[in-house]
Structure 1
Amino acid sequence: MAEPAEFEKQRERLWGIAYRITGSVADADDALQDAWLRWRRLPDDRAENPAGYLTAVVSRICYDQLTSARARREAYIGPWLPEPVVTEAGPEERATLDDSVGTALLTVLERLTPAERTALVLHDAFAVPFAEIADVVGRTPESVRQLASRARRRVRAEAPRRTVDRAEHRRTVDAFLAAAVDGDLAGLARILDPEVVWRTDGDGLVGAARVPVVGREKVTHFIGHALRAFVPGRTRMGRFDVNDAPGLVVTGIATGVAADSSAAVYAFTVRGGLITRIDCTLNPAKLAHLDLAALHGPR
């Protein structure tokens, strides 16, 4: 049996690969569990390069998952967003955001083919050589190089530009939070870009806009409507890191469904001190991995 400690050394990196390829917390967890079982069955003398072996195994699992998920996502109701990764607010000394795991970028990656996405993530985010990626996707190294190049061009063209300054992003989100808590729609409008875009992921399971809402006036009106679902004494809103950038988690929303589904996670794209994009995840299936009660403490 291969040494368990070697797997644990790689766990965080492997999970990062899996999440970026699939955009799903559940799929990333499943991929690591599958890889762990394969690792346990591997003889000691078969893992001369544990990092390389495990990277290849997890990547192949996720590549297959992504290929099989295409049909399901084509039938998705409304905008699709990645399952949010929510953590406590990051250390203040961290100066920059991790762009490779941002919600907006992962949404753009969803438009790539599985081979393009896998090649781009492995090479650009984790410095895996093209020859090793070729074995994962069943292509030649030169073909993989072209896949990554094509994917890179598309991401550069379609990914929204945003600040990488964590302090600027945090200040803007804090201003949004303060205005939302006060019900100050005029204050909210002042920190929205004129062409701001609001996307809501609900998959038809909760009340949610099924097309993006575009423009400062329309988004402000939409926010005002959303605030009416907040229940006095029950709704809680707090700042957390969402996919490594300051975002918001709201619980206790009157959605008309079960109380354990009445939550929302907000990710923001900020540029020049203005919010250019708001990604709101309402789909309870995509929030099932979060301990929402623990995030906001006991009621």
Structure 2
Amino acid sequence: MTENPFVAHRSLLFTVAYEMLGSAADAEDVVQESWLRWADVDPSQVRDPRAYLIRTVTRQALNRLRTLSRRREDYVGEWLPEPLLTSPDVAEDVELAESVSIAMLTVLETLGPTERAVFVLREVFDMPYGEIAEAIGKSAATVRQIARRAREHVAARRPRVEVSRSEQHAVVERFLAALRTGQLQELLEVMAPDVVLIADGGGVVPAAPAPVHGAELVAKLLARADRVVAATTVWLNGAPAARVEIDGEPAAVSLVVENGRVTRIYAVANPRKLTRLDEPAELAR
């Protein structure tokens, strides 16, 4: 019996939707909506099920992205993507791992909905311009222009230095050790002088309302002797990261590492965004 194309490509479709939306919950909704549409289609009339399904998910995700953009304007404090627990083998596909990293998803938030869709489909999933044009309802020539602008936009904002997973893991461990002990000097040594901390509490739990700049300020915020910190290393969004509890309040923490030091800290504490940390997400390209 031949496997249903939708089932065969479900992980891919979830990944497309998640990269476009930065939210696992919304990505799941988009995949479900796309399943209902696929159920009404005669598969024998579909020449390329994979391309057809990606187009369907893209259209649903674009509709949702426009709604989410309005909703995020009213979000309390900084908005960060919803972190995903991933298996270590996601990191073996370097391009996939980079594309789902919290750092990259945060950069993608600065694109408009159409630009984001084009960038994800072209740069991550290598879809032909003609198929992207069909998915978003524009000409192939227009899609090429959008893709070029989106590439330039992302290139100007993405972290440029690549580190090995082993180096990332080692720096994460050093950072967590300093965090557990609350040693100010150890934190200062593991962070770059111009480190930036971005925290997302969603107005539900306490979090810095704006990015915190500079090692001195970030270390003073993190190194407090009056609280109990528990931290474990986990794989989030294709890279070594951390699950942290401060006085029992959980957070998912992703770090950008350059030249052996932490340059960015993304801390997601909004409990509504911490529901995908017990079961590894199935991601695919």
TM-score (normalizing by structure 2):
0.91
> C-alpha distance in 2, partners of 1:42/1:223?
54
> C-alpha distance in 2, partners of 1:126/1:87?
19
Query: Counterpart of 2:240?
Result: 246
Stretches (4+) displaced over 3 A:
91-97, 289-292
1:268 aligned to which of 231, 255, 271: 255
**Superposition deviation, residue 237 in structure 1:** 1.6
Task: Decide whether the 8 Å contact of 1:99 with 1:164 is kept in 2.
Answer: no
Structure 2 counterpart SS, 1:87: coil
Distance 1:178 1:94, change over 3 A: farther
> C-alpha distance in 2, partners of 1:18/1:279?
21
Query: How many aligned positions are there?
Result: 278
Distance 1:43 1:96, change over 3 A: closer
Task: Decide whether the 8 Å contact of 1:94 with 1:166 is kept in 2.
Answer: no
> C-alpha distance in 2, partners of 1:265/1:6?
34
Stretches of structure 2 that go unaligned for 5 or more consecutive residues are 281-285
Structure 1 counterpart SS, 2:9: helix
Task: Decide whether the 8 Å contact of 1:170 with 1:246 is kept in 2.
Answer: yes
**Superposition deviation, residue 285 in structure 1:** 1.3
User: In the alignment, residue 244 of structure 1 is paired with which amino acid?
Assistant: G
> C-alpha distance in 2, partners of 1:180/1:61?
41
Distance 1:27 1:95, change over 3 A: closer
Query: Counterpart of 2:32?
Result: 33
The reply to whether residue 23 of structure 1 matches residue 17 of structure 2 is: no
Equivalences for 1:143-182 in 2 at 5 Å? 143-182=142-181
Task: Decide whether the 8 Å contact of 1:96 with 1:166 is kept in 2.
Answer: no
**Superposition deviation, residue 212 in structure 1:** 0.5
**Superposition deviation, residue 95 in structure 1:** 9.1
Query: Counterpart of 1:188?
Result: 187
Q: Which has the higher contact order (CA 8 A, sep 6+)?
A: 2
Deviation per CA, 1:259-294, whole angstroms, max 9, x where unpaired? 7xx2100000001100000000011111134349x9
Deviates more, 1:38-47 or 1:101-110: 38-47
> C-alpha distance in 2, partners of 1:12/1:93?
16
User: In the alignment, residue 284 of structure 1 is paired with which amino acid?
Assistant: P
**Superposition deviation, residue 185 in structure 1:** 2.1
> C-alpha distance in 2, partners of 1:186/1:143?
52
> C-alpha distance in 2, partners of 1:96/1:52?
23
Query: Counterpart of 1:8?
Result: 7
Identity %: 38
Structure 2 counterpart SS, 1:198: strand
RMSD: 2.2
Structure 2 counterpart SS, 1:26: helix
Query: Counterpart of 2:267?
Result: 280
Deviation per CA, 1:40-78, whole angstroms, max 9, x where unpaired? 221232222110110100111111111111111111111
> C-alpha distance in 1, partners of 2:90/2:186?
25
Structure 1 counterpart SS, 2:223: helix
Structure 2 counterpart SS, 1:247: strand
> C-alpha distance in 1, partners of 2:69/2:207?
22
Distance 1:93 1:263, change over 3 A: closer
> C-alpha distance in 1, partners of 2:94/2:278?
27
The reply to whether residue 69 of structure 1 matches residue 63 of structure 2 is: no
**Superposition deviation, residue 163 in structure 1:** 2.2
TM-score (normalizing by structure 1):
0.87
**Superposition deviation, residue 6 in structure 1:** 1.6
